[in-house]
Structure 1
Amino acid sequence: MKIKQLSIVIFTLFLFSCEGGFDKSLISNTEKLISPNGEYTLCSYHVASPMAFGSGLSVINIFKSDEKFDFTDRDILRFGKALPFWIKWKDNKTLTVKCLMAGDGLQKHQPYKTDVIAWKEWIFEVEYYSMYSSGATGYFSFEDYSIDKNKIKFKSKSDSLVFNKDEVQFSLDSNHIYVKEFKTVGFNNKLGLSFSHYDLTAKGSFNQKFIQGEQPFVRIKP
């Protein structure tokens, strides 16, 4: 664990000591989330380490929606060793972020720490969680869907998947809906988050507007 933390420190120093932008080949997992008034677009992405060791960093940046996104820009917001896994616009100037902390272990409460970060003209209300487990991706084809209060259901002819709105982050890509589900679980009187991942495929075309109220990310090319 100490080696991993040291690699993060070295990579971070390298990241912000170099002149010019990132090498575009280091950028991956690019997604966008538009502000409520449409004026700004938040981009979330991963910057791989250019060195043989290290896992890189998950970062965000915010651009005007009518401007071209520059993913190589080094003027970014990062959350240290924490991994943001849930981001929502609270209003046009405030965002809520849930982060997973690496190496802190299970805690008595989840979230076990909060913080407020002022970055440029935006405020980020950050909650920090620790992980209990993470499962493999499940695949599901759906033909219909419905929303009932705090639940979203995806249905096939023989089965269904039901998610609580406050326990998922959605990402959209063509006719796919990627779901990151997280639940609080306990072990030995301590708590952590258990993650499940789903790749939902629509049979035929579907109107993505039904899920827009949940502020889904949209996957884009860097």
Structure 2
Amino acid sequence: MTIHKEGYTSIAIAALVIFIANALVHYFIPDNALVVWTVYVLSFLLFVTVLQFFRSPRRRVVTDDNLILCPADGKVVVIEETEETEYFNDKRIQVSIFMSPINVHINRNPVSGVVSFFRYHAGKYLVAWHPKSSTLNERTTIAVRTNHGKEVLFRQIAGALARRIVWYVEEGVTVKQGEEFGFIKFGSRVDVFLPLDAKVDVKIGDLVSGGLTVLGRFE
């Protein structure tokens, strides 16, 4: 299993905390086998959980300028026509993907093109499914102008547990469909705003994979 670079520090801290906890238990209550082995088992499960959260599976992304790929692993929780007020200031189709702690948390470019807009907003940490999380939580907003002139906007949103958003893009850079643009730690959400004439290929409740599942297509 390959570990994502964003996990190195968190894994090291988890290993240190687990080592100290186990050393203290072994030192102070060495004769209580039940407690000692309970701590050992819980420590092992905690470490495996942290490891799996930062896993980075290899994926073969097939690029296509007519398709919009899912930017993240997770579950589709919103598909609706809405007003996007930060950049477009007009109506768009919003598709939201909720990432639970067990999902891969790498974020991938849904389209190829040039980053036409980027903003980072510090904010609150409401649960990711809260209706106001899109506008009140810590978040980034990224718009990409595709090779045929259409724009797609996508937004990383921190959740109640996700308190660190990482991004690798800035305004003016060229990005490639399926490549990483960021990472969100410990559960969160990604909103995608598509043109009204785009065809959505997923439905609410679908489980999707970043860089693999087709979210929609340009008409």
Normalising by the residue count of structure 2, what TM-score does the alignment of the two structures yield? 0.23
Highest RCO, 1 vs 2 (Cα 8 Å, sep ≥ 6): 2
Indicate the structure with greater helix content: 2
Q: Which has the larger radius of gyration?
A: 2
